[in-house]
């Protein structure tokens, strides 16, 4: 296969022709594929009506992603009828050519089952040992639950939002990225959050972690530089006229929105701003049924926070060894 880095030109070609109705995982967000290329040394290829990905990361993030089918209306007659079996055949041929094992990563259970079915039927010589990593599970929420915060389940979260509203009574607002020119305010929050993180004596940040955080900051800037092309959603929370929290998201499918980034400055966070921006954004994103708030990466505090919002589904990700 002709592997390459996904360019903006490639993104334009793909954004309207990726068949996304069954996609749920954050790894299948085209914006994520573009933004995370450097982090995971991702290469992509477009062959026979499929988008192929190869990741080079930790063991659970090294291998071929699930081949993503492209829309028939955008394909040549020759590419319209290619099947998943043919896509898997290309992966097997590529692995042999590159001298690497046929390995997959970041597959949902449905995608894993489809791969198993094809291998059993057409490539019985290929044996796959599947494993999962709890750190990779995507947290998927019913958007309406996060917007309504009803019942005992969300009593604490609603109290956090109410506390925020009381503290900043009449002096707070949420502005949507779709309606307002707030990119600079988003970058301001991201930069100040990063400064606070590096200066904090309470959070130990290794050099490796610092590199990841700096790379993430570059991703935020890249995303906002291309916000129209990426069709980004998101917003900024203000108190006393100043930006204190931001969130940034993009579409996975017609039903699913992927929340890539959420940052909040420490003083506002202590007053409930994380709960407030989560609630504000969930309320504003009313054209979607689900919010994918991505994985927790094994970070204890992040896991606790994500679980506290009571996900509708923990989407397992499978990889082969």
For 4-63, how does the pLDDT look when each residue is reduced to its tens digit (9 = 90+)? 999 999 998 898 889 888 899 999 999 999 999 999 999 999 998 999 999 998 889 999
Report DSSP state, residue 74.
G
Q: What are phi and psi of 130, to 5 degrees?
A: -90, 145
Within a domain: 183: yes
**305 part of a folded domain:** no
Domain count, the chain: 2
**What pLDDT, in 10s, does the model give residues 265-274?**
999 999 999 9
Q: Is residue 40 part of a domain?
A: yes
At residue 51, the 3 state secondary structure works out as strand
Q: Tell whether 222 is covered by a domain.
A: yes
What's the pLDDT tens digit per position in 190-227?
999 999 999 887 677 788 888 999 999 999 999 999 99
Mean pLDDT throughout 94-121? 97
Q: What is the pLDDT of residue 203?
A: 72
| 198 and 114 belong to one structural domain | no
Q: What is the pLDDT of residues 292-308, one digit of tens each?
A: 999 999 999 999 999 99
Query: Which of 42-56, 93-107, 192-206, 234-248 has the least mean pLDDT?
Result: 192-206
Could you identify the residue written with the tokens 């504003």? 284
Q: Answer whether residue 119 is part of any domain.
A: yes
Average pLDDT over residues 114-138: 96
Output the pLDDT for position 78.
63
Work out the pLDDT band at 290, boundaries 50, 70, 90. Answer: very high
What is the pTM (predicted TM-score) of this model? Answer: 0.94
55 and 167 co-located in one domain = no
Instruction: Please check whether residues 91 and 150 belong to one and the same domain.
Output: no
Residues 148 and 235 reside in one and the same domain: yes
User: At residue 110, does pLDDT exceed 90?
Assistant: yes
Q: Quick check: 244 and 264 in contact, CB under 8 A? A: yes
Q: What pLDDT, on a 0 to 100 scale, did the predictor assign at position 166? A: 97
Give the end of a domain, one of 136, 155, 175: 136
280 shares a domain with 142: yes
Closest Cα partner for 223 from 24, 23, 17, 30?
A: 30
Asked if residue 284 and residue 143 are part of one domain, the reply reads yes
Residue 79 has pLDDT above 80, yes or no: no
Domain match, 177 and 114 both: no
123 with 32, same domain? yes
Q: Are residues 148 and 74 in the same domain?
A: no
Question: 191 in a domain, yes or no?
Answer: yes
Q: Verify that 221 and 186 share a domain, yes or no.
A: yes
Q: State the pLDDT at residue 209.
A: 86
pLDDT of residue 73: 60
Please indicate, yes or no, if residue 300 is contained in any of the structural domains.
no
What residues make up the domain containing 12? 8-136
166 and 281 share one domain:
yes
316: in domain: no
DSSP string, 259-282: EEEEEE-HHHHHTTHHHHHHHHHH
Q: 124 exposed, middle or buried (CB, 10 Å; 0-12, 13-18, 19+)?
A: exposed
- CATH of residue 211's domain is 3.40.630.30
Quick one: pLDDT at residue 59? Answer: 83
Do both 290 and 150 map to the same domain? yes
């Amino acid at each position: 296969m002709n592997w390459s880095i996904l360019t903006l030109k490639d993104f334009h070609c793909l954004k309207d022709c990726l068949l996304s109705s069954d996609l749920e995982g954050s790894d299948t967000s085209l914006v994520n594929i573009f933004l995370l290329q450097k982090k995971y040394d991702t290469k992509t290829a477009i062959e026979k009506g499929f988008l192929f990905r190869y990741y080079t990361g930790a063991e659970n993030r090294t291998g071929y992603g699930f081949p993503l089918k492209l829309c028939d209306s955008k394909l040549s007659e020759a590419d319209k009828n290619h099947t998943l079996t043919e896509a898997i055949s290309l992966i097997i041929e590529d692995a042999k050519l590159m001298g690497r094992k046929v390995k997959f990563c970041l597959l949902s259970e449905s995608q894993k089952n489809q791969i198993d079915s094809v291998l059993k039927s057409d490539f019985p010589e290929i044996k796959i040992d599947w494993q999962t990593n709890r750190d990779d599970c995507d947290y998927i929420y019913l958007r309406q639950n996060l917007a309504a915060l009803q019942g005992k389940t969300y009593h604490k979260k609603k109290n956090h939002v109410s506390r925020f509203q009381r503290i900043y009574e009449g002096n707070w607002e949420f502005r949507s990225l779709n309606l307002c020119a707030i990119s600079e305010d988003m970058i301001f929050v991201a930069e100040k959050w990063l400064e606070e993180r590096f200066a904090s004596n309470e959070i130990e940040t290794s050099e490796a972690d610092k590199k990841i955080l700096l790379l993430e900051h570059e991703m935020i800037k890249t995303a906002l530089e291309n916000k129209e092309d990426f069709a980004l959603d998101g917003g900024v929370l203000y108190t006393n006229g100043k930006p204190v929290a931001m969130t940034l998201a993009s579409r996975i499918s017609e039903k699913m929105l992927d929340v890539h980034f959420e940052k909040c400055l420490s003083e506002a966070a202590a007053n409930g701003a994380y709960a407030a921006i989560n609630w504000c954004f969930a309320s504003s994103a009313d054209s979607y049924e689900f919010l994918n708030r991505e994985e927790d990466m094994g970070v204890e505090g992040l896991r606790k926070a994500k679980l506290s919002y009571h996900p509708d589904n923990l989407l397992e990700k499978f990889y082969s060894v």
